[in-house]
């Protein structure tokens, strides 16, 4: 019989809410809707269980994981259906490198640590990675902070025989995926792009943070596109009423035969945290599979799911 994957999650934001609720949804319904891979190394979506959770927000600490995921500023919707308590109280997370051993102790049970805190605190990210390594748990970094693409850090995981996956998850389906697909489709058919724009609007805390620090994100979004020199990115718009929905408007103006106009306008609506959860559920299973196989270091099968795997610019 298959053992369940025991996951410790760092960060109790929208992405964790989507993951925790979704796993229960799939377990209860048996549905495969929205699932890319039914099984990875024999592991189904419902085989994931949570054994620890870390957060720094005082309101969340001490609450059961299944309660904490609904506290503000989280705004991913409450899915229909009962959500039984996880039996996992949220524990106080790291604010500097001083608590690594405490956290490592709390990870004794965990197969995988899913690092899902806000981006932008690389020292903390690496501190959790170190705690995971000491505890022998595979580490998955879903943020853009440099962990797996840091050669020294990766070397330590290799030496310890512990898996390390990251950095920066690529959403299952979002603006970049769609925009890039359209740009490539035009190119494949011999249609010449003239100009294109992308507008992104969202209402999550994550979005609010990105709006405050727009340039990195804009460049990273352009990096995800082919023919990017003809694409213009409008500034990100933080619109609180959208809650966890993301809305994108895309326009592509192009020329076909003899320069005649081809014009495409798109509106996309998705739930940002769903796009993360759909990928996290694969990253966690890949990490678990690597751990079972005693494959230390980076698991290359994760590469299509990441924006900055080892070897990317730091």
Contacting positions for a copy of itself (CB under 8 A): 18, 21-22, 25-26, 31-37, 77, 79, 172-173, 177-178, 181-182, 185-186, 189-192, 194-195, 197, 199, 201, 211, 230, 232, 234-237, 239-242, 247, 249, 251, 255-271, 274-275, 277-278, 281
**Which of 91/243 has CB closer to a copy of itself?**
243
Q: How far apart are CA 66 and CA 56, in angstroms?
A: 16
CB of 145 to a copy of itself, least distance (A): 23
CB of 55 to a copy of itself, least distance (A): 21
CA 147 to chain centroid, in Å, comes to: 14
**Which of 61/264 has CB closer to a copy of itself?**
264
CB of 302 to a copy of itself, least distance (A): 16
**Which of 148/281 has CB closer to a copy of itself?**
281
CB of 196 to a copy of itself, least distance (A): 9
Please list the alpha-helical segments (H only) found in 71-160.
100-106, 122-135, 151-160
Q: How far apart are CA 138 and CA 156, in angstroms?
A: 12
Peptide bond before 167: cis, by omega within 30 degrees of 0?
yes
- The residue among 213, 214, 204, 314 whose CA lies nearest residue 270 is 204
**Which of 15/141 has CB closer to a copy of itself?**
15
**Which of 146/196 has CB closer to a copy of itself?**
196
Give the torsion through C-alpha atoms of 27, 32, 37, 40, to 10 deg.
30
**Which of 103/248 has CB closer to a copy of itself?**
248
Give, for 90, the enclosing helix (H) or strand (E): strand 90-92
- The residue among 97, 40, 1, 122 whose CA lies nearest residue 288 is 40
Q: How far apart are CA 248 and CA 15, in angstroms?
A: 19
CB of 180 to a copy of itself, least distance (A): 10
**Which of 52/193 has CB closer to a copy of itself?**
193
**Which of 61/178 has CB closer to a copy of itself?**
178
CB of 76 to a copy of itself, least distance (A): 9
Token pair, residue 5, equals: 């994957």
Peptide bond before 257: cis, by omega within 30 degrees of 0?
no
CB of 36 to a copy of itself, least distance (A): 3
CB of 132 to a copy of itself, least distance (A): 25
CA 87 to chain centroid, in Å, comes to: 24
Contact indicator for 246, 270 with CB cutoff of 8 Å: yes
Contact indicator for 250, 213 with CB cutoff of 8 Å: no
Peptide bond before 143: cis, by omega within 30 degrees of 0?
no
């Amino acid at each position: 019989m298959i053992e369940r994957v025991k996951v410790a999650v760092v960060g109790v934001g929208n992405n964790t809410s989507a993951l925790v609720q979704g796993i229960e949804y799939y377990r209860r319904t048996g549905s495969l809707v929205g699932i890319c891979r039914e099984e990875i190394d024999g592991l189904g979506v419902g085989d994931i269980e949570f054994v620890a959770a870390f957060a720094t927000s005082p309101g969340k600490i001490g609450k059961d994981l299944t309660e904490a995921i609904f506290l503000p500023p989280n705004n991913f919707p409450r899915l229909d259906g009962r959500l039984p308590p996880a039996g996992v109280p949220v524990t106080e997370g790291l604010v500097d490198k001083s608590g690594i051993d405490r956290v490592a102790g709390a990870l004794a049970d965990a197969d995988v640590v899913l690092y899902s805190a806000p981006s932008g605190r690389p020292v903390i990210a690496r501190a959790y990675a170190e705690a995971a390594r000491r505890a022998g748990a595979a580490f998955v970094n879903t943020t853009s902070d440099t962990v797996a693409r840091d050669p020294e850090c990766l070397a330590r995981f290799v030496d310890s025989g512990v898996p390390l996956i990251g950095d920066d998850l690529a959403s299952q389906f979002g603006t970049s995926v769609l925009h890039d697909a359209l740009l490539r489709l035009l190119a494949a058919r011999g249609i010449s792009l003239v100009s294109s724009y992308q507008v992104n609007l969202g209402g999550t805390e994550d979005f609010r943070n990105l709006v405050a620090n727009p340039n990195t994100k804009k460049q990273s979004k352009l990096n995800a596109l082919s023919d990017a020199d003809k694409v213009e990115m409008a500034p990100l718009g933080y619109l609180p009423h959208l809650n966890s929905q993301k809305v994108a408007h895309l326009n592509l103006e192009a020329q076909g035969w003899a320069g005649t106009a081809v014009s495409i306008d798109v509106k996309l609506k998705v739930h940002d945290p769903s796009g993360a959860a759909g990928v996290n559920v694969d990253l966690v299973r890949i990490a678990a599979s690597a751990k079972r196989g005693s494959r230390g270091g980076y698991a290359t099968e994760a590469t299509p799911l990441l924006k900055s795997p080892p070897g990317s610019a730091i």
